[in-house]
Amino acid sequence: MKNNTKYFEQLGIMTSAVNEKQHDSLQAMITEIRKLKKEKNAKILSHYYMPASIQITEELGGIADFTGDSLGLSVNAMNVSADHIIFCGVKFMAETAKILNSSKNILLPDMHAGCSLASSITGKDVIELKRQHPGVPVIAYINTYAETKAEVDVCCTSRNALKIAKSFKEDKLIFVPDEFMGRNLRSVITRETGKEMILWSGKCEVHEQFNKRMIDSYTLEYPEAEVLVHWEVPDEAVNSSLKIRKGIVGSTLDILNYVGKSNAQQFILGSECDLGATLKGMYRDKEFVTPCISCPHMKTITMENTLEALRAIGTADEEKYLVDVPEPILSRAYIPIKRMIDLS
Ligand code: 13P
Ligand code: SF4
């Protein structure tokens, strides 16, 4: 092993080992990225669904300044003082960073990094929902585009959704756009508060695949394992697995924290494949089994295009990476996001 041993040890734990050729090219890219970040006064923020090679932080020899879930990334982006943020995540996340810290340049290494939930609803749809249900507050999952956020009362992430929904005094709420997450939340909220929830029909194309049949076959195959399922997983699969097994339905961070507190050795993961890598890197003595379903949008971001985005800063190419949220959408979308952060 050459230099940067910590990075390659961590990468080896999180992925199948890299070969000598990949090792040399990764090493060269890490060195250049770290140098360019300093020269161009840039920070890299990464979601836990990024490939292991990107989400490993600088302190472990990697390239990310911060790796987190969608709430952690929003709060972190708000406080970045560097001139540029390279956002290793999907577009709605980069837009949220721009809305919260609009004087900074937010660069997304691939503008095609979309999301099936975010594209399932528009601002016009929210206006129509409000017309149909006058006076009913609208809560939007952060997985929406800025023009949708501009029309809602408050945003939430998977980590604070329950708290935010409970903070409303109204007995009816609209939650958009994730239907399965809405159904999972609704069963808790209705049980605890009696509130009614009106839902939209958006789906996460990754988490909807963890259906009852799939989770049931994993629980059968791994009789000792506990179950880790994201809020976005179909409620039928969540309910049937957590009836027979210990485990958690929650956000990405809830899942990471749960494993830290559990005495179990083996876990069935019902969430994005690279969260399995994160878990493996954090809890080396535990085993994680998963069908390993990847988000194709998250995976458009690579070490190569992250490096290209950094190189482009200050050149004519910079424009193609810059995330722009025009006014008045930016100011209008700021209100529900800030309200969410204040309530968190
Ligand atoms: P969290 O990071 O809030 O758990 O969201 C998961 C997700 O699907 C992001 O796209
Ligand atoms: Fe969207 Fe699902 Fe991908 Fe998250 S995992 S970005 S919700 S498609």
Average pLDDT of the residues of the chain: 96
The rounded Å distance from CA 91 to ligand 1 centre is: 13
Q: How far apart are CA 118 and CA 115, in angstroms?
A: 5
User: Quick one: average pLDDT of 76-90?
Assistant: 97
User: Quick one: average pLDDT of 217-240?
Assistant: 97
Say what the pLDDT of residue 24 is. 87
CB 83 within 8 A of CB 42: yes
Q: For residues 91 and 20, state if they share a domain.
A: yes
Res. 331: pLDDT tops 50:
yes
Say what the pLDDT of residue 3 is. 67
Res. 1: pLDDT tops 50:
no
| Total number of domains constituting the chain | 3
Mutation probe of ligand 1 site: the residue of 162, 205, 230 with most atoms within 8 A of C-beta: 230
Task: Answer whether residue 278 is part of any domain.
Answer: yes
Domain boundary among 170, 199, 228: 199
The rounded Å distance from CA 136 to ligand 2 centre is: 27
What is the residue whose two structure tokens read 């309530």?
A: 343
Q: pLDDT digits over 56-71, tens only?
A: 999 999 999 999 999 9
Q: How many CB atoms lie within 10 A of CB 285?
A: 5
Q: Is the pTM of this model over 0.85?
A: yes
Mutation probe of ligand 2 site: the residue of 92, 144, 207 with most atoms within 8 A of C-beta: 207
User: Quick one: average pLDDT of 141-157?
Assistant: 98
Task: Answer whether residue 247 is part of any domain.
Answer: yes
Q: Is ligand 1 within 6 A of the CB of residue 74?
A: no
User: Quick one: average pLDDT of 193-213?
Assistant: 97
Of all residues in the chain, what percent carry a pLDDT higher than 90?
94
Which residue minimizes the CA distance to atom 1 of ligand 2? 115
Task: Answer whether residue 342 is part of any domain.
Answer: no
Task: Answer whether residue 333 is part of any domain.
Answer: no
Q: Is ligand 1 within 6 A of the CB of residue 251?
A: yes
Task: Answer whether residue 343 is part of any domain.
Answer: no
Res. 339: pLDDT tops 50:
yes
Task: Answer whether residue 309 is part of any domain.
Answer: yes
3-state secondary structure of 226: strand
Task: Answer whether residue 216 is part of any domain.
Answer: yes
Say what the pLDDT of residue 330 is. 98
Say what the pLDDT of residue 100 is. 98
Which residue minimizes the CA distance to atom 8 of ligand 2? 115
Residue 231: which CATH number?
3.40.50.10800
Domain boundary among 174, 199, 224: 199
For residue 105, report the phi and psi dihedrals to the nearest 5 degrees: -85, 120
Domain boundary among 178, 199, 220: 199
Q: For residues 18 and 107, state if they share a domain.
A: yes
User: Quick one: average pLDDT of 207-224?
Assistant: 96
pLDDT bracket for residue 218 (50, 70, 90): very high
User: Quick one: average pLDDT of 324-334?
Assistant: 98
Q: For residues 275 and 211, state if they share a domain.
A: yes
pLDDT bracket for residue 340 (50, 70, 90): very high
Which residue minimizes the CA distance to atom 5 of ligand 1? 70
Q: For residues 14 and 90, state if they share a domain.
A: yes
Q: pLDDT digits over 261-312, tens only?
A: 999 999 999 999 999 999 999 999 999 999 999 999 999 999 999 999 999 9
CB 53 within 8 A of CB 59: no
Q: Is ligand 1 within 6 A of the CB of residue 70?
A: yes
Task: Answer whether residue 94 is part of any domain.
Answer: yes
Q: For residues 82 and 97, state if they share a domain.
A: yes
- H helix count then E strand count, the chain: 15, 12
What stretches of the chain show up as alpha helix (H) in DSSP? Answer: 5-14, 20-40, 52-55, 70-78, 91-100, 123-132, 146-149, 161-166, 179-193, 212-221, 235-244, 252-261, 273-282, 303-312, 329-343
pLDDT bracket for residue 2 (50, 70, 90): low
Res. 162: pLDDT tops 80:
yes
User: Quick one: average pLDDT of 18-36?
Assistant: 90
3-state secondary structure of 135: coil
| Domain interval for residue 38 | 5-112+298-324
Q: For residues 186 and 213, state if they share a domain.
A: no
Q: Is ligand 1 within 6 A of the CB of residue 158?
A: yes
Q: For residues 123 and 98, state if they share a domain.
A: no
Which residue minimizes the CA distance to atom 7 of ligand 1? 70
Q: For residues 272 and 224, state if they share a domain.
A: yes
- Which residues' Cβ are closer than 6 Å to ligand 2? 90, 115-117, 143, 204-207, 272, 295, 297-298
**Which ligand is the nearest neighbour of the Cα of 253?**
1
